[in-house]
Structure 1
Amino acid sequence: MTRLALIFAPLALSACSALSALSDATQVLDVYELRAPEGIAEAPRRSRLNVTVESPTTTGALLTDRIMIKPSELEAQYLPGARWGEEVPVMVQSLMLRSLQATDGLSYVGREPLGLSGDVAIVSDVIDFQARDLGEQAEVTLRISVQLVREEDVAILASRTFASQAVSASLETPDIVAAFDAASDELMVAFADWVVTGLR
């Protein structure tokens, strides 16, 4: 069974193509979410560090719950009739959090520190989180810049940019979202391994 979850679907299916313009601000939208990968390996031992995953920053075009698809390099549109369950930065934060929790490699990981401050903060920026129209398919590109910051003196311990891509089976919304899911899986597995390995 796919991990991709369709939270809500209206009874009437939209006949619009993936690139058609939004027709009505009151339109009922299908809501999709991405989940943390199921195949994340558990860490061989647990770090004693408390880690805070801060909400990522991003550009204005991605500061939304709409699913972006680009017909060209300089043009951005959103899939009609569909949205994410959370705004993109919040969803990415949730994916990071759940992926790290799945490793069982950290003493604590959360959106907020346990006390006044944690040991390490994960600071990130969502650079790409969109699909690109290829004609009969779409290419999904995810790119996120991540820094590990020691809270005590705000020193950057490590930094890396993670990127992944996946091609959809068609321009239908479920296929495009499935490609987002595949690209997210690849990126989050690499991210979680990098964080846990770096903080041992």
Structure 2
Amino acid sequence: MIIRLLPVLVLLSGTIALSACQILPQRPEVALYQLPPSSIEAGPGASGATVSSLRLDRPGTSDALGSNRVLVLAADNSFEAYPGARWSAPVPVLWRDWLLDAFWRDGSIDQLSVSADGLQAQLELGGMLRAFHTEYRHGSTEALIRYDALLIDTRTRKIVASQRFDAREPAGANDAEAAVHALGVAADRLAEELIRWVVTTTP
């Protein structure tokens, strides 16, 4: 009798599993974005540069910016995430790695690394990433990046210099694709100023 019931039980379990698959909602598709590569090009040389080696640290951020969500700040100062859109890495890591590439493209500093590598360097670039989002104001959207940069002497752990960098760029539309493009343009503009500041800083 038990043997005869086995096919029935198998059929029932299969039917239940199929029903469950139909009842559970499908996961929405998520698009992963990265910042467009920097357009910074190598200059005529490192003339005037006083920094021989630099390592980049992951910046501090607020809890809201610590995730991989693509954010927009509404008029009531509340953050919202673009639906179905994510950065390819948490924002602090995304920003550090993008900056590293920008420094490589510039070519003024020969020796570059990140703190996670554990390598020696003359200076360390860290700080606080206070804004990395779009803002919706008065019917239009613009990208905003605000980075409070710190240059630290790795031997003494003393702050060599500090400066705030801001960059804004109109987004043109209120969607994830436009936000990513505008943030990329703003990042390029900010990086040009940041790199020039770093390479001419004397420890």
1:106 aligned counterpart, secondary structure: coil
Paired amino acid for 1:34: L
Provide the secondary structure at the position in 2 that maps to 1:198. coil
- Among 147, 160, 174, which residue is 1:144 paired with? 147
Is the contact made by 2:70 and 2:176 (CA closer than 8 Å) also made in structure 1? no
Note if 1:94 corresponds to 2:134: no
Q: What letter corresponds to residue 117 of structure 1 in structure 2?
A: Q
What CA deviation, in whole Å up to 9, does each residue of 1:64-114 have, x standing for no partner? 110011112431110001111111000110121111111211131111387
Given the two structures, how large is their TM-score scaled by the length of structure 1? 0.79
Alignment partner, residue 38 of structure 1: 39
Matched residue of 1:165: which SS?
strand
- Pair 1:52 & 2:58 matched: no
**Residue 121, structure 1, aligned to residue 140, structure 2:** no
Residue identity opposite 1:191 in structure 2: L
Q: 1:183 to 1:49 in 2, by over 3 A?
A: same
Deviation digits for residues 121-162 of structure 1, max 9, x if unmatched? 111210011111236531111100111100111121111111
Gaps of 5+ in 1: 1-23
Specify whether residues 89 and 151 from structure 1 end up closer, same or farther in structure 2 by C-alpha distance, changes over 3 A only: same
**Residue ranges of structure 2 left out of the alignment (5+ in a row):** 1-24
CA distance in 1 between counterparts of 2:76 and 2:42 reads 36
RMSD across aligned positions (CA): 2.4
More helix by share: 2
Matched, 1:64 2:67: yes
Number of positions where the alignment pairs a residue of Structure 1 with one of Structure 2: 177
1:17-32 alignment runs, 5 A limit = 26-32=27-33
Do the aligned partners of residues 55 and 113 (structure 1) sit closer, same or farther apart at CA in structure 2, a change above 3 Å counting? closer
Report SS of the residue matched to 1:93: helix
Tell me the equivalent position of 1:81: 84
Structure 2 CA distance for aligned equivalents of residues 65 and 113 of structure 1? 20
Mean Cα deviation higher: 93-102 or 65-74? 65-74
Deviation at 1:59, TM superposition (A): 0.4
Higher strand share: 1
Contact 1:43 1:103 in 2 (8 A): no
User: What's the TM-score, normalizing by structure 2?
Assistant: 0.78
CA contact (8 A) 2:82 2:175 kept: no
